[in-house]
Amino acid sequence: MTSNPRIGLSKIGGFSYRAIILGLSLAILINIWVPYGSFILQSSRMTMGHLPIAVLIPFFILLFVVNPLIRKLKSSWTFSGSEMTLIFVMTFISSLVPGKVMVAYLMGIIATPYYFARPENQWATTFFDYLPDWLLVSSHGNTLVWFYEGMPEGIDNIIWGPWFPPLFWWISLFVVLFFMGACITTIMRRTWVDHERLAFPLVRMAIDLIRHDEETKRTFPNFVYDRMFQVGFGASLILMIWNITTFWGSIPPIPIGSPYHTMLTLMEGALPIKISINIYALCFAFLAPLEITFSLWIFSLLGILEGGLLDRVGFQYSGSPVGTNAVVKAQFFGGFVVFVFWHLWTSRKQINNVFRDAIKGGGKVSSTEFMSYRFALLGLMGSLVYLIAWLMVSGLSWQVVPIYLLFLFILYLGTARIIAQTGLAFLDLPVNAHHFTILTLGSGNIDPPSLTNLGLGSAYARNWRGLGIGTIAQSDKVMSDLRRDKRGLLGIMLITFLISMLTSILYTIYIGNTTIGAYNFGTRDAFGGINEMYYDDIVRWIRNADQLQPPEFLFMALGGVIMLAITALTHRFPGWPLAPVGFTVAFADITRTLMFTLFTAWLIKMLLLRLGGVTAYHRALPFAWGVLVGYSAGILIGFFVDWIWFPGQGHSLHDWT
């Protein structure tokens, strides 16, 4: 990409110092802003999503405020496209940490058992003997009491000591998992980008906006002067401001957005459909290929109807708390597993080429990769050795380790691959790896120390961002399209990730001690009962046998067959309307919740293409960008309103439900 001349920009590894410093500063800001807004203000959760709004808000401020001001004052100091790309990637990486992405799960594990144990929950008598103390905050002194209840008046010093040993080992695990994700991304990049040519619609807009900003000869990026962008921006911002004014109760809200919904039940026994428009998800779904959004909502609808029909015909299944729908979930997860293995099989040639290049090509780093293929393979093997050792030392038996890691790999890789193709802004894991490991092997066949260790796995196995694989893959796509040379980027990403973890964890401990206490952080994340549920699960697994039943295995097999059939039809008939990827996550809770939004995005895009063709769709793109920018501005305004007028009683304008 071309850039205007820049004056006095020192560089490290091809990246300017000022971009690195600004990127790290924003990473620190995000990891303070998000926990403060979520835990203290009870405002919107800014890191919910596979491209969080906590990333887009500073990106939009740079794009529409900072760069235009600099361009007016001294154009040679304007942030270049390469610098904007690096800053975007660094903030994207930093969003992997705060709130209900990583820190909430982690803190809910390491700070819970010794504070919440009581005779009624039977934790002490059931699994305390199996807890690895080096992974948990000690119960000695007032460390946990002050964290959950706040420090008494007159106490000025936080007790930090008991936090550091467990945090060291957990942070080492997360850094290794992140590095493993970078290695996997390097190995799979050829397949996803060059061979399968995945669209990566989630970051397509950021790529286009950066290009427009760099090419502009005016104060603002060219598309800002487009009437469609202005209409979209104005309409969404007015909507957001109107609904923010309803915080005082003087006027009724306009019921558009995630907080507003009604439920529709199509038939007795079927799950209800949430009729709601999630503006954030709508904008990204509009950018996704038409057949994918169609497949997602139609398979979700068929899954709901299937559950209702099974209930109506008398299929009673009580082996799961979700009843009959457990077998429907098993069916779709069977499709997910087959989808992952099918694409690994079809990618075998590209993966073999990576291995061949690693052996023959030496350690030379290509400018198009984060690292050399040899380093990626050696790094992957080294990370795997550390991960296995970490799990076994913490109490997981060697017989369980390979099954557990297999399910982690399937879920993390599969989710990253699906996000790269679908562009879903919100997506949870269809199952959790530690739960599914127990259900597959049977809790009665696993020893109590291993069950306890798998319970601690909630700190990372519930991580719906896949601990970085998807985010790293999306970042790789942004860098590939806007700045071909990636050498040195891996080190910057690792530093960003580590600084983000330290900032978010230490700040969360700080506000727990010095403000309202973590027990009052709210029930949305991991401090208001959810954290206790993680340990209640361990009691249930140890005291009661739990295992997948024949109906679930049967429906999983059926889902695998359906996935193979859809895949065969897709390859046999070019016009086949149902994409296999749509079947993989159509019955995941978040996809089901967003079904009406996905349907709306598909309907709008379908009508545009039918009535005006591709030209009409491209003409409407600035409108979608404007809606997203206006929505983001409204969320930021809502945060400041909650900060000033409603601290502790905030309003969740933005969420994934």
In a domain, 503, yes or no: yes
Q: Which domain holds residue 19?
A: 11-116+140-524+531-643
Task: Give residues with Cβ within 8 angstroms of 560, minimum separation 6.
Answer: 334, 335, 337, 338
> 3-state DSSP call for residue 504?
helix
* Cβ neighbours, 10 Å, residue 367: 10
Is 436 contained in some domain? yes
Average pLDDT of span 418-441: 94
- pLDDT at res. 317: 60
**Which residue intervals of 37-142 are DSSP H helices?**
53-61, 67-73, 81-94, 103-110, 113-116, 123-126
User: Tokens standing for 523?
Assistant: 């029930």
Q: Tell me the three state secondary structure of residue 274.
A: strand
Distance linking the first and last C-alpha atoms of the chain: 38
CA 256 to chain centre: 24
Average pLDDT, the chain: 92
Is 61 domain-assigned? yes
* 287 within some domain: yes
Q: Which of helix, strand or coil describes residue 53?
A: helix
| pLDDT at residue 312, rounded to an integer | 86
* Pair 184, 469: CB distance under 8 Å: yes
What proportion of the chain, given as a percentage, has pLDDT over 70?
96
Asked if residues 20 and 492 have their Cβ atoms less than 8 Å apart, the reply is yes
CB-CB contact of 180 with 379 (8 Å): yes
5 lies in some domain: no
Q: Which two tokens stand for residue 107?
A: 């803190």
Helix H or strand E segment including 11: strand 11-12
pLDDT of residue 157: 92
CA angle 26, 427, 272 (to 5 degrees): 135
Residue 580 has pLDDT above 70, yes or no: yes
pLDDT at residue number 409: 95
Instruction: Compute the Cα dihedral for 69, 72, 77, 79 and give only its sign.
Output: positive
**Does pLDDT of 413 surpass 80?**
yes
Q: Tell me the average pLDDT across 396-404.
A: 97
- Strand 15-16 and strand 11-12: the pairing is antiparallel
Task: State the pLDDT at residue 324.
Answer: 60
Q: Which of 231-245, 328-342, 478-492 has the lowest mean pLDDT?
A: 478-492
Copy the structure tokens of residue 143.
């460390």
- Section 604-629 average pLDDT: 96
The answer to whether position 135 is within a domain reads no
Q: Please report the pLDDT score of residue 7 as a whole number.
A: 47
| Residue 655 in domain | no
The residue among 451 and 547 whose pLDDT is bigger is 451
What is the per-residue pLDDT for 399? 96
Q: Which amino acid is at 334?
A: G
316 pLDDT tier (thresholds 50, 70, 90)? low
pLDDT digits (tens, 9 = 90+) for 482-509: 876 788 899 999 999 999 999 999 999 9
- Asked whether residue 506 is domain-assigned, the answer is yes
Residues 556, 333: Cα–Cα separation, whole Å? 7
Q: Give 9's pLDDT tier (boundaries 50, 70, 90).
A: low
pTM of the predicted model as reported, rounded to 2 decimal places: 0.95
Q: Band of the pLDDT at 181, cuts 50, 70, 90?
A: very high
Q: What confidence tens digit (pLDDT) does each residue in 45-81 have?
A: 999 999 999 999 999 999 999 999 999 999 889 999 9
- Tell me what the mean pLDDT of segment 521-529 comes to: 80
- Quote the number of domains for the chain: 1
| pLDDT, position 363 | 61
What is the rounded distance in angstroms from the CA atom of residue 558 to the CA atom of residue 332? 9
The percent of residues in the chain predicted with pLDDT above 90, rounded, is: 81
Q: What local confidence, expressed as pLDDT, does residue 484 receive? A: 66
User: For residue 319, what pLDDT is reported?
Assistant: 54
The pLDDT, as a whole number, for residue 5 is 46
Q: What are phi and psi of 399, to 5 degrees?
A: -70, -30
How does residue 161 score in pLDDT terms, banded at 50, 70 and 90?
A: very high
Torsion of CA 190, 192, 195, 197, to 10 degrees: -130
**What is the DSSP track for 141-195?**
TTHHHHHHH-PPTT------GGGHHHHHHHHHHHHHHHHHHHHHHHHHHIIIIII
In our burial notation (b when 16+ CB lie closer than 10 A, e otherwise), range 294-328 reads bbbbbbbbebbebbbebbeeeeebebbeebbbbbb
Lowest model confidence (mean pLDDT) among 248-257, 518-527, 534-543: 518-527
The tokens 């990106």 sit on which residue?
59
Burial 450-474 (b: 16+ CB within 10 A, else e): bbbbbbbbbbbbbbbbbbbbbbbbb
Per-residue pLDDT, averaged over 332-340, amounts to 97
Selection from 111, 123, 115, 113 nearest residue 167 by Cα: 111
- pLDDT band at residue 321 using 50, 70 and 90 as cut-offs: very low
Per-residue pLDDT at 555 = 94
**How would residue 35 be classed by pLDDT, with cut points 50, 70 and 90?**
very high
